Amino acid sequence: MGNKKLKISSILLYAVLIFWLLITVIPILWVFENSFKPSEEILLNGVAFPKSLDFSNYRSIFSYPDVNMFRSFFNSFLISGGVVAGVVCFGGLAAFGLGRFDSGVGKVVEAGMVACLLVPAFATMIPNFVTVSRLPIRETYLAVIVPQVAGNLCFAIMLLSSYMRSLPNELDEAAIIDGAGPFQVLKHITVPLSKPMFATVGIMVFIWSYNDLITSLVYISDQKLKPVCVILTMVSNMHGTDYGAMMAAIFITVIPVLILYMMSQEMVIKGLTAGAVKG
């Protein structure tokens, strides 16, 4: 009887996972398929396979005079990489203090961070914009990086501090007895043991930053600094009726995130499950 219930639950679980896989993969395949079609063929039958592999849509995206896809990809990687570096660095330091040292103040800080997570990002956009506009970082990459770092810190600190708190205290005590200071403990013990969670946080923050359209629209007006998500909206406006070009632009934008996640999904799962088991 028990094995029968287990089989039924396994079947239901796999059914849900397969359904989730289909609704996730099919839209990507649909975009890829239609990126090789002219608009007339898409409107006629958007589900059928293309009659021929026509790369004119991709050529039009890269040859448009006001759109520099290579520059926009560089901007996206630079901004997202800067955000990841800032979040991992500052978040790791804060998480070390909260997760490895018992303090009443730390509990108050954690409660404050949980409260900050409940505040919608749009509620702080106007004061953040006013602050950034008065700083010398206006119309630079830092105008986007700094708000995104601030917006992702609470999330990163909560994950990292929870993971670090689960590490054995005996390791820190042994290092301190040997004469190690707090930063040496952080560098040689806490960070190496927390690599899966650091990788998880870094990958998730990179994907969120890469897809963050509204922040780039608000804080950057210089065409040369705009990331690929903003360029995608420009292509959509310029090629509003050219659905083939729009599909090509969408697929090109999605490729880096897909590659990154496929290469790092094992590390993400390892970090999240390890934190769940140890915590």
Q: For residue 18, is it within any domain?
A: no
Q: For residue 51, is it within any domain?
A: no
- Average pLDDT of span 225-254: 79
Q: Which residue has the higher pLDDT, 136 or 8?
A: 136
Q: pLDDT for 37-53, tens place per residue? A: 887 887 877 777 787 77
Domain count, the chain: 1
Q: For residue 84, is it within any domain?
A: yes
Residues 245 and 61 sit within 8 Å (Cβ to Cβ): yes
Residues 215 and 144 sit within 8 Å (Cβ to Cβ): yes
Q: For residue 223, is it within any domain?
A: yes
Rounded distance, CA 218 to CA 215, Å?
5
pLDDT of residue 5: 57
Place of tokens 């899966």: 196
Mean per-residue pLDDT of the chain: 82
Q: For residue 43, is it within any domain?
A: no
pLDDT of residue 88: 94
Top-confidence range, 84-93, 107-116, 226-235: 84-93
Rounded distance, CA 24 to CA 7, Å?
25
CATH number of residue 165's parent domain: 1.10.3720.10
- Is 50 exceeded by the pLDDT of residue 278? no
Q: What is the pTM of this model?
A: 0.82
User: In angstroms, how far is CA 135 from the centroid of its own chain?
Assistant: 26
Place of tokens 């898409």: 42
Q: For residue 182, is it within any domain?
A: yes
Range of the domain at 97: 68-278
Residues 71 and 223 sit within 8 Å (Cβ to Cβ): no
- Is 70 exceeded by the pLDDT of residue 240? no
Q: For residue 231, is it within any domain?
A: yes
First-to-last alpha carbon distance for the chain, in angstroms, is 33
The number of beta carbons lying within 10 Å of the beta carbon of residue 48 is 12
- Is 80 exceeded by the pLDDT of residue 265? no
